[in-house]
Amino acid sequence: MARANVVVMGSSNTDMIIQIKKIPRPGETLLGDKFNIAQGGKGANQAVGAARAAKPGTQVTFIAKVGKDVFGDQAIAGFKKDKIQTDYIFRDSKNPSGVALIFVAEDGKNSIGVASGANATLSPGDVKKAAQAIKSADILVLQLETPLETVQAAIEIADQAEVPVILNPAPAQKLPQEILQKVTILTPNEIEAETLTGIAVKNKTTAAQAAKILHDQGVPIVIVTLGAKGAYLSAPALKEMIKPFKVKALDTTAAGDIFNGSLAAALSEGTGLLEAVHFASAAAALSVTKLGAQPSAPRRREINELLKA
Ligand code: RIB
């Protein structure tokens, strides 16, 4: 049997994390507690999330751009440790690798600012070089921390090759219908769903209203992630609120990324949609119990243990 094949395209950052009692307001200085550096970036977190959640033998390829600097070297070394295919990680000699400054408050909530650097120069031309990888994927995963025209170029290639596309519309931005109608699964959180639809999403009812608007714009499957409230899955003939796994949140950074990566891993091996969403919810729940983005991505065994418990 052919090995499952997940392709992720997107951002890679080095995260500078300060743990602090509460997020400082504009103009306010607060003394923090601990400082950590960890690998991050929504795209990279999704690739690592997929690689750790996937069944052994699954190929995960990451398409990205990093600087020709030590942060870029460290990011690539990390991907290799997770056995991620790095042939399409391009290097930018003019711009530095992406960096994110992150405050993590005592309640696990965060605030993130990103200097995109090389992520902002990942171009449709780069995507063209990776076209063969996209065409042979079982599933393509994207987010919005790289230029929209690059995201669109990848979606076009996937669409022509009939490769299903998961688009995690983060960070929130409005999207044109020509993109939405080529997306198979859209996975907004509450804020992203509101940006895309104008509906203030707070619960199952409002998530369903937002999903309906997105279906009308051509997206067949919508999964609205609602943090500690769970996730709402809306697909043809399948509307379901998925209950959250109860865990103590230390750091919610990258929970959405881990959800998307593990969802892709499960779907690539033929898991049914509902079961794949449960698997992804368990992975996301585990990720919030640890500090940092990529350090918190759980392994398949841990996810299966939580699902059994
Ligand atoms: O989703 C979390 C990620 O957002 C962080 O790792 C940070 O790098 C930003 O991209």
221 pairs with which residues across the strands?
A: 185
Q: How is the beta sheet containing 98-104 ordered, strand by strand?
A: 35-40, 13-19, 98-104, 110-115
Q: Which atom of ligand 1 is nearest to 98's Cα?
A: 8
CA pair distance 218, 194, nearest whole angstrom = 17
Ligand 1 — pocket residues by CB below 6 A? 11, 13, 15, 40-42, 45, 100, 112, 114, 145, 253-254, 257, 293
Give the pLDDT confidence score for residue 208 in this predicted structure: 98
Residue with CA closest to ligand 1 atom 10: 41
| 257 among known catalytic residues | yes
CA pair distance 291, 295, nearest whole angstrom = 7
**Burial class, 45, CB count within 10 angstroms (exposed 0-12 / middle 13-18 / buried 19+):** buried
Q: Provide, rounded to the nearest whole percent, the portion of the chain with pLDDT above 70.
A: 100
Confidence of residue 301 (pLDDT cuts 50, 70, 90): very high
Mean pLDDT of 159-169: 98
> Is residue 127 within 8 Å of residue 45, measured between CB atoms?
no
Residue with CA closest to ligand 1 atom 8: 41
**Burial class, 239, CB count within 10 angstroms (exposed 0-12 / middle 13-18 / buried 19+):** middle
239 pairs with which residues across the strands?
A: 234
pLDDT at residue 48 is higher than 70: yes
Residue 127 dihedral angles phi and psi, to the nearest 5°: -60, -40
Give the pLDDT confidence score for residue 3 in this predicted structure: 86
Mean pLDDT of 44-71: 98
Asked, as a colleague might, if the bond just before 171 is cis with ω within 30 of 0, I would say yes
Confidence of residue 1 (pLDDT cuts 50, 70, 90): low
DSSP letter for 85, please. Answer: B
* CA 279–ligand 1 middle distance (angstroms): 21
Instruction: Encode pLDDT of 176-223 as tens digits.
Output: 999 999 999 999 999 999 999 999 999 999 999 999 999 999 999 999
Mean pLDDT of 169-182: 97
CA pair distance 258, 249, nearest whole angstrom = 15
Q: Which atom of ligand 1 is nearest to 39's Cα?
A: 6
* CA 236–ligand 1 middle distance (angstroms): 31
Mean pLDDT of 97-121: 95
